[in-house]
């Protein structure tokens, strides 16, 4: 086992709004940040998780006990201008881990501690993350605060509780200004059809999954009108990907998805995208008790197949609200019965709550992209 990283001279504290406190060592930046405390069950893929925009505004707990063993790779831009990880920065406001290890990997450029410090993100290590996860599963997701500062000057419970009370609720925050693009960008694959992506904080690997299939991608701000043409090229399909926050708060996106001309496109919704498609058709969403986050989530399709997929979501579509929407249940979660997939009877809409790009994680759900691209090419 790799040697443990050198002990920090800083103290780290996670304090929950229900009064539960976890003290440990400081990791990353010296700072205090408030956010919604969530956990992910993935054993690998921490660089991808930490750059996933869906974690914006949250404090991310890793249930796997040793994080950092393969370090942090380069996150420079590739030939298409996409970051090699899921976005160009660390997205959570805080990080909680049981322990860290010294990295050992040929692609590693720095340690997790160095990365978090450079990104000005505070973290706590040495926390009993099993106890924390059991607490969140029992009580539900709560807000909390991560504080990293001098070891001999830890803040009081009341001081930390005051920080939480002064911060906005997670569902009230507008994250789009932080994760959505400010202007449209076209990434070209010569000869390929154009798919518009309403970008609410989409992962780079979703865009890359389309590019790898020969599709050009037009990334649009979340509140942009989906055009019929762009730079003289016909738009042949629509993608709505993942992103942070309460889907019901994204009124401009929901309104755009409800427009008849936008509904005419072959459409693929992923994660938040599934929820937004459902809302645009008149369905409702609700907040899960503690969400689904990890690479080991089972989904069961209506034809009897079961797949393991990567997921990161705290909201879900209410199946009871689908009447008169034109949408049918395509997949469900066998553990808690939540809705995992949608499609319409006309074959124009496909939506999956999980992540078919599967990065990190299994690749078997990639057939969803294949089906979508086939529909797009028939329209092009």
How many beta carbons lie within 10 A of that of residue 362, not counting itself? 14
Which of helix, strand or coil describes residue 90? coil
Note if 119 is an active site residue.
no
- State how far the Cα of 47 lies from the Cα of 277, in Å rounded to an integer: 29
| Closest residue by Cα to residue 95 from 71, 127, 130, 139 | 127
| Selected catalytic residue, list 135, 224, 355, 359 | 355
| Selected catalytic residue, list 25, 173, 200, 271 | 271
| Selected catalytic residue, list 36, 86, 173, 357 | 357
Note if 357 is an active site residue.
yes
Note if 271 is an active site residue.
yes
- State how far the Cα of 128 lies from the Cα of 134, in Å rounded to an integer: 10
Q: How far is CA 132 from the centre of its chain?
A: 21
How many beta carbons lie within 10 A of that of residue 32, not counting itself? 19
Residue 376, C-beta contacts closer than 8 angstroms, at least 6 positions apart: 193, 195, 215, 236, 237, 266
Range 165-168 contact pairs with CB under 8 angstroms and sequence separation of 24 or more: 166/34, 167/34, 167/143
Catalytic site positions: 271, 355, 357
């Amino acid at each position: 086992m790799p040697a443990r990283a050198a002990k920090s001279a800083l103290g780290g504290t996670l304090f929950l709004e229900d009064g539960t406190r976890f003290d440990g060592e400081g990791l990353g930046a010296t700072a205090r940040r408030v956010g919604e405390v969530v956990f992910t069950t993935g054993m690998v893929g921490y660089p991808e998780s930490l750059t996933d925009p869906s974690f914006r505004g949250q404090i991310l707990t890793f249930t796997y006990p040793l994080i950092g063993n393969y370090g942090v790779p380069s996150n420079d831009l590739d030939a298409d201008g996409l970051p090699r990880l899921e976005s160009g920065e660390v997205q959570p406001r805080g990080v909680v881990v049981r322990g860290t290890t010294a990295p050992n990997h040929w692609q590693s450029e720095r340690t997790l501690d160095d990365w978090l410090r450079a990104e000005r993100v505070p973290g706590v290590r040495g926390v009993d993350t099993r106890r924390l996860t059991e607490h969140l599963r029992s009580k539900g997701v709560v807000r909390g605060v991560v504080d990293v500062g001098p070891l001999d000057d830890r803040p009081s419970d009341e001081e930390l509780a005051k920080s939480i009370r002064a911060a906005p609720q997670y569902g009230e925050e507008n994250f789009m200004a932080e994760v959505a693009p400010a202007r449209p960008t076209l990434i070209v694959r010569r000869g390929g059809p154009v798919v518009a992506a309403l970008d609410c904080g989409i992962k780079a690997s979703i865009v890359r999954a389309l590019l790898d299939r020969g599709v050009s991608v037009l990334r649009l701000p979340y509140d942009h009108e989906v055009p019929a043409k762009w730079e003289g090229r016909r738009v042949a399909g629509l993608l709505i990907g993942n992103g942070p926050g309460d889907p019901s708060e994204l009124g401009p996106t929901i309104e755009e998805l409800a427009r008849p001309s936008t509904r005419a496109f072959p459409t693929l919704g992923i994660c938040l995208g599934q929820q937004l498609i459902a809302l645009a058709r008149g369905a409702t969403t609700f907040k899960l008790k503690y969400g689904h986050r990890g690479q080991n989530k089972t989904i069961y399709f209506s034809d009897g197949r079961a797949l393991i997929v990567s997921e990161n979501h705290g909201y879900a579509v209410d199946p009871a609200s689908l009447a008169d929407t034109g949408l049918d249940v395509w997949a469900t979660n066998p553990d808690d019965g939540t809705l995992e997939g949608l499609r319409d009877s006309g074959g124009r809409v496909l939506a999956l709550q999980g992540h078919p790009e599967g990065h990190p994680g299994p690749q078997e759900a990639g057939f969803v992209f294949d089906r979508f691209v086939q529909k797009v090419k028939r329209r092009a």
